[in-house]
Structure 1
Amino acid sequence: MRLRSTIRGILAAAVLTILIPAAPAWAHSRLLQSDPADGATVGTPLTAVSLTFNDGVKQQFSTVVVTGSDGKSYVDGAPRVVDKTLSQPVRPLPAGVVKVAWRTVSADGHPIEGQFAFTNNTPGAPSPTTAPSVAEKPAVGDDQGPDRWPWIVTGGFLVIVLATGAWLWHRRRNRTAGTPGA
């Protein structure tokens, strides 16, 4: 009977350990709005593209790529985070569809990304001179590590649970085998 209660305790601990690391995953930041908004038409010159999130994001892992209808990048410097807003300064944009691709890391360490597009209809905006090309993708760095931690912790815990179970089984087997009359 004691072995059964020990196994139940180990299984309960395993279930709790597996579920606890999943809790922060529900707290990932998410994009609430962008300026300009997805699908909007802009009639005044822009100096920056802004992304507002429901929670903080990490500046050092943020990338925003703004690609004009000519296929060229129009970023002007590094992105900046103030409170919950990620802003990317831009050079004067050409007329036409402008694509924005972004990638950042939420406060809980989870990488998040997305993209949207808007139309630049600013009077006096230069016309695109070349055919559009494929938009640049945000750089992917070593910031993908946090996604692996729940799997590493869970895997390590399962190895410990299995090793403990095997040890208990072996111990019980040896006791039963060593008992006279068994």
Structure 2
Amino acid sequence: MRRITRVLLAAALLLLLAPAAPAFAHSRLVASDPADGAAVRAPLSAVALTFSDGVKQQFSTVVVTGPDGASYVDGAAHVADRTLTQPLRPLPNGAVRVAWRTVSADGHPIEGQFSFNVSGSAVTATSSAPAAVTTDPGAVPWTVVVVAAIVIVLALGAAILGRRRHISGARRRA
């Protein structure tokens, strides 16, 4: 029985050390407009964040900070389909930081940030094409959760079997 327990624990350990796949249950940021690190010359009236799945309107916030440290949001962010859009006031030239937080359709909070550079006067237009940006670094890969559950079940099973053997051995001696 000990040999089986050791083999099962070794297999669980190997699964824990195996490369983890990304979590597919939660929404993740797949693109932004403008993209992370982009050089923006056209005026912007909004930033748009596109997610792999829907996000909840009521828990979504986007903060857009200009090079002067001031906020350039103009009203509330809104969600349409898988895209979270934040209207903007005209942006000054320089580095702009976008920090966002929302809740995926399954209730998991996600957040991130990116930046871009403005090098033209900003009035009212939208930028060009969306591009991939960072994904949610806080998401736990589903394989880690499954393997952890397996390890816990195996450890509990081994403890219960050991306890039963100890009790039955004590009864035989008595």
- Above 0.5 in TM-score? yes
Partners of 2:45 and 2:123 within 8 A in 1 = no
What is the CA–CA distance in structure 1 between the aligned matches of 2:160 and 2:35, rounded to whole Å? 60
Partners of 2:90 and 2:123 within 8 A in 1 = no
| 5+ residue gaps, structure 2 | 125-137
What is the CA–CA distance in structure 2 between the aligned matches of 1:41 and 1:77, rounded to whole Å? 22
What is the CA–CA distance in structure 2 between the aligned matches of 1:80 and 1:168, rounded to whole Å? 55
Taking only aligned residues, the RMSD between alpha carbons, in angstroms, comes to 4.0
Q: Which amino acid in structure 2 is aligned with residue 168 of structure 1?
A: L
Aligned to 1:25: 23
Partners of 1:74 and 1:90 within 8 A in 2 = yes
Q: Cα–Cα, structure 1 residues 73 and 176, in superposed 2: closer, same or farther, change >3 Å?
A: same
How many residues are paired up? 147
Q: Once the two structures are aligned, what percentage of the paired residues are identical? A: 51
Partners of 1:37 and 1:118 within 8 A in 2 = no
Normalising by structure 1, what TM-score?
0.58
Higher helix share: 1
Q: Which runs of 4+ in 1 moved over 6 A?
A: none
Partners of 1:36 and 1:118 within 8 A in 2 = no
Aligned to 2:171: 178
1:164 CA displacement: 4.7
Aligned to 1:113: 112
Q: Which amino acid in structure 2 is aligned with residue 113 of structure 1?
A: G
Deviations 1:54-81 (A, max 9, x none): 2222223322111122221111222111
Aligned to 1:43: 42
Aligned to 2:78: 80
Normalising by structure 2, what TM-score?
0.60
Structure 2 residue matching 1:170: 3-state secondary structure? helix
Taking the TM superposition and a 5 Å limit, the aligned residue runs for 1:1-182 are 25-38=23-36, 39-44=38-43, 46-108=44-106, 109-122=108-121, 158=152, 162-179=155-172
Q: Cα–Cα, structure 1 residues 101 and 120, in superposed 2: closer, same or farther, change >3 Å?
A: farther
